[in-house]
């Protein structure tokens, strides 16, 4: 009789434990995930460098693009003088900013840069910010 009661307790506790874990995992999936802002820098041989801004959110364990987010990108500091440009993310959650020719003197004078991106709150999306620091490669010396 005691063995039967012990087995019954184990079955009941197992059932409670398993259903409790599933309830917790569903609760985590249903919570709203914040929107993320990423920056990527690209340059190829003798081409104008540019920055890609990407916004995404995580839903059901997958990253999904967020469109319609206005983003301002700055070089080194957030000021009107260092504004590279403004862009609104497209259906893929991406926006491209080409580094203007007016920044050539700043670009040539230093080897390390920080790109800063900010956005204002839009709808249910909070204000976003992102940062990317790069270091330019030194040309190989010829012997």
The mean pLDDT values, 10 residues at a time, for the chain of 143 residues are 71 66 50 82 84 90 90 91 92 92 84 90 85 80 61
Confidence (pLDDT) at 108: 81
Helix (H, G, I), strand (E, B) or coil at 120: coil
Residue 3 exposed, middle or buried by CB count within 10 Å (0-12, 13-18, 19+):
exposed
Give the global pTM: 0.70
What separation in angstroms does the CA of 90 have from each of 37, 53, 66? 14, 10, 8
Confidence (pLDDT) at 117: 93
Could you tell me if 53 and 65 are in contact, meaning their C-beta atoms sit under 8 angstroms apart?
A: no
What separation in angstroms does the CA of 27 have from each of 4, 19, 33? 35, 12, 12
Confidence (pLDDT) at 11: 67
């Amino acid at each position: 009789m005691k063995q039967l009661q012990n087995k019954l307790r184990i079955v009941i506790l197992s059932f409670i434990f398993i259903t409790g874990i599933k309830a917790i995992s569903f609760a985590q999936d249903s919570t709203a995930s914040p929107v993320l802002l990423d920056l990527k820098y690209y340059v190829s041989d003798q081409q104008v460098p540019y920055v890609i801004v990407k916004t995404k959110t995580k839903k059901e364990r997958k990253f999904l693009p967020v469109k319609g987010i206005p983003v301002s990108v700055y070089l080194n500091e957030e000021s009107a003088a260092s504004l590279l440009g403004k862009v609104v993310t497209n259906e893929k959650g991406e926006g491209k900013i080409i580094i203007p020719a007016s920044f050539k003197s700043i670009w040539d004078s230093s080897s390390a840069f920080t790109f800063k991106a900010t956005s204002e709150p839009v709808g249910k999306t909070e204000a976003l910010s992102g940062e990317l620091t790069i270091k330019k490669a030194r040309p190989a010396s010829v012997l």
